[in-house]
Structure 1
Amino acid sequence: MSINPRTIRWGILATGRIAENFATDLALVEGSELVAVGSRRLDAANEFAERFGAARAHGSYEELAADPEVDVIYVATPHSRHLDDVMTCLEGGKHVLCEKPLAMNAADAETMIAEARSRGLFFAEAMWTRTNPNIRRMLQMIRDGVIGTPLQVRAELGYAAEAEKTRMWDPELGASALLDMGIYPLTFAFLLLGEPVSIVAAGVLSDQGIDVNAGATLTYANGAVANIAWNQVAWSDNRGTIAGDAGFVEMTSRFHEPTGFSVTRGDQTETYEEHVIGRGYSHEIIEVADCLREGLTQSALLPQDESLAIMKQLDEILRQLGVTPR
């Protein structure tokens, strides 16, 4: 597919809250344009297109995937639909940015990655935390040795999700506090410490078998440990810290979308703030657009192999929690 070097033409698949957030930030990115939206209900697509300035609205995902004016599609459906919806887009010849987590399990994620690679199409998980400029600067400073060797990571994310929010509690819609919230502290630990050598998880399930309140301890070959927690029943402080043998870093709440961070060494604390465009989705939009202009099918910030590795960790944690595979 030929890409205009000046403008990347986006389609958004689905019209829920996350799609609204994405579309709002997309409007802030120079050189990227929302040209089409797809929904299973044409009236919903029309309303979304009018609100966010898309030229065309499609009453099916298949129509969006077939739109010749669209370069790349942001898949904003719940993760229970990702396999079907991503495959529809790839089969339509479209590059894809898929909302996290990539899938319900690692096997489905592997299927999507293999399909994208076989077609020579760009494919990435929309893990916006990885593209946040504060996360990126923090990681670079830690690589440069600002706190010595990182040996302890702590991160948690959670809030009390009302029971009437169906998707968060319905197993058929992929409900899982781990998949919704836990993927963030898990990704945070991966970015800092890499692949663990062991994972030990424990938690509480709902009466429908959904993990709603849980945590895990991960250990690493160099002796580092990560303690992470997630839930959808209580209000967490949503902070992240990294302790090294020469100091520690604390991310502002919420750690996965920080507006700054602090570094403490001895009795000295310094704060850092990198500008975040809009809510922060803008930075993954910029990254995808840059990759497409360069003809890349993967992003160095959103690597497929790492998304798959984390998906396998999610599978293992769910297995330990006793959640039935879906």
Structure 2
Amino acid sequence: MEHRTTKWAILGPGKIAKKFATGLKDVEGAELYAVASRSKERADAFAEEFSATKAYYSYKDMLEDDKVDVVYIATPHVFHFDNTLLCLEHKKAVLCEKPFAMDSEQVKEMIALAREKKVFLMEALWTQFLPHFQYVMDLLKTEKYGKLKKIEADFGFHSPFNKEHRLYNKSLGGGSLLDIGIYPIFTALSALGVPEEIAAKAKLTTTQVDEDCEMMFTYKNGIKAELHSTVGRKTPTVATFLCENAEITMNSRFHEPTSVSISTKEGTETKNFDVTSNGYNFEAAHVQKMLKQGRTESDQMTFEKSLQLIGLLDEVRNKINLVY
């Protein structure tokens, strides 16, 4: 693959797939080759909108196309496990949208099959690859502003209650935690690792998914991460890192391309990163780099990190009695 175009396929042409396809246009050496949906109308419409060469009306038919190099899975959470296993059985490289699956056992099985088949697999947590996120993680790692003492991160927007909507539908893995709470948790994991203690409480809807979830992670030396997600109201959606000598803030909305403000006793400085794309190009470019190097696992969004992340999600779910 070293010198040729990477042919991408998208499995599940929904809202997030459109964002990914838009970002893919900004990736050198990338081609949106195919899209698959069980709905002919949706597959055809998506292929036309994003100039995909092929539109398939069954996942299996698309995966049997020898020209497909890598599949981006963009179906609802509950289908990630089965969709990923199907792709891996067909020996197709996989970039699967977050959350990787519904629980740790599913993620372990996905990773085991990827290793058995010697096929690339990565969780599509795009924030990992954004310039502002990597910049802040580097500041924390080098302790440029002293040791990190506390994290505060939230993600909230208002989505009117509708029991049929994906966000409120338990059978589709609804709730704030898996959809957006994953971002504050991922941020804490990236900065501080796995906490020693987790406390959490949630407001559940009549469909028994979490509308609102508050979490407290406690680390050694008493360092804490206060995390919050909600689909009941809009929140600032920022991530703030309180260090010994500065307050570092990933500005709204922190999980997507944004600026970083650093406040010290000398004042506040804001750094912009001049990202002109929607940001999904960075994870896609990383996948292509890994494939061209012949890797079967990302050196940034590793299997270990995905396992730690789903483990934290599992533990929070247990604390708030959220059962799928």
Q: Give the number of equivalent residue pairs.
A: 323
> Which secondary structure does the structure 2 equivalent of 1:222 belong to?
helix
> Which is further off, 3-12 or 184-193?
3-12
Tell me how far 1:247 sits from its aligned partner: 1.2
Matched residue of 1:156: which SS? strand
Residue of structure 2 in register with 1:190 after alignment: 189
- Structure 1's unaligned 5+ residue stretches are none
Q: Which residue number corresponds to residue 206 of structure 1?
A: 205
* 1:116 paired residue number: 114
What does residue 298 of structure 1 align with?
A: 297
Maintained 8 Å contact 1:277/1:283? no
Q: 1:85 aligns with which of 83, 86, 94?
A: 83
CA contact (8 A) 1:103 1:109 kept: yes
Match of 2:153 in 1: 155
**1:43-62 counterparts in 2 under 5 A?**
43-62=41-60
How far apart in 1 are the matches of 2:276 and 2:108?
32
Asked whether the equivalents of residues 147 and 243 of structure 1 are also in contact (C-alpha less than 8 Å), the reply is: no
| Structure 1 residues 1-326: aligned runs within 5 Å | 3-164=1-162, 166-324=165-323, 326=324
What secondary structure, in the 3-state scheme, does the structure 1 residue paired with 2:220 have? coil
Stretch of structure 1 that moved more, 27-36 or 163-172: 163-172
Distance 1:4 1:54, change over 3 A: farther
Calculate percent identity across the aligned residue pairs: 36
Query: Normalising to structure 2: TM-score of the pair?
Result: 0.97
Return closer, same or farther for 1:302/1:4 CA change in 2, 3 Å cut-off.
Answer: same
Q: CA deviation at 1:22?
A: 0.6
SS in 2 for 1:163: coil
Question: What's the TM-score, normalizing by structure 1?
Answer: 0.96
> Secondary structure at the residue paired with 1:25?
helix
Tell me how far 1:73 sits from its aligned partner: 0.2
Q: What's the RMSD between the two structures over aligned residues? A: 1.2
Task: State the distance in 2 between where 1:119 and 1:185 align.
Answer: 33
Alpha-carbon distance, 1:144 to partner: 2.0
Q: CA deviation at 1:128?
A: 0.6
* Greater than 6 Å deviation, 4+ residue runs: none
The gaps in structure 2 that reach 5 residues or longer are: none
Please state how far the C-alpha of 1:41 moved relative to its aligned partner: 1.4
Residues 200 and 217 of structure 1 are in contact (CA less than 8 Å); yes or no, is this contact kept in structure 2?
yes
**Post-superposition offset of 1:265:** 2.0
State whether residues 205 and 213 of structure 1, in contact with CA within 8 Å, keep that contact through their aligned partners in structure 2: yes
Query: C-alpha displacement at 1:181, in angstroms?
Result: 0.8
- Residue type of the alignment partner of 2:128: R
CA distance in 2, matches of 1:261, 1:314: 27
How big is the shift at 1:274? Answer: 1.7
| Greater mean deviation of Cα atoms: 268-277 or 80-89 | 268-277
Whole-angstrom CA distance in 1 between matches of 2:215 and 2:3:
44
2-side partners of 1:277 and 1:189: how far apart? Answer: 27
Tell me, in whole angstroms, the C-alpha distance in 1 between the residues paired with 2:104 and 2:188.
Answer: 19
Counterpart of 1:110 in 2: which secondary structure? helix
Alpha-carbon distance in structure 1 between the residues aligned to 2:275 and 2:96? 21
Letter in 2 for 1:207: T
Secondary structure in 1 matching 2:216 = strand
- Equivalents in 1 of 2:287, 2:221: separation in Å? 33
- After alignment, is 268-277 or 210-219 more displaced? 268-277
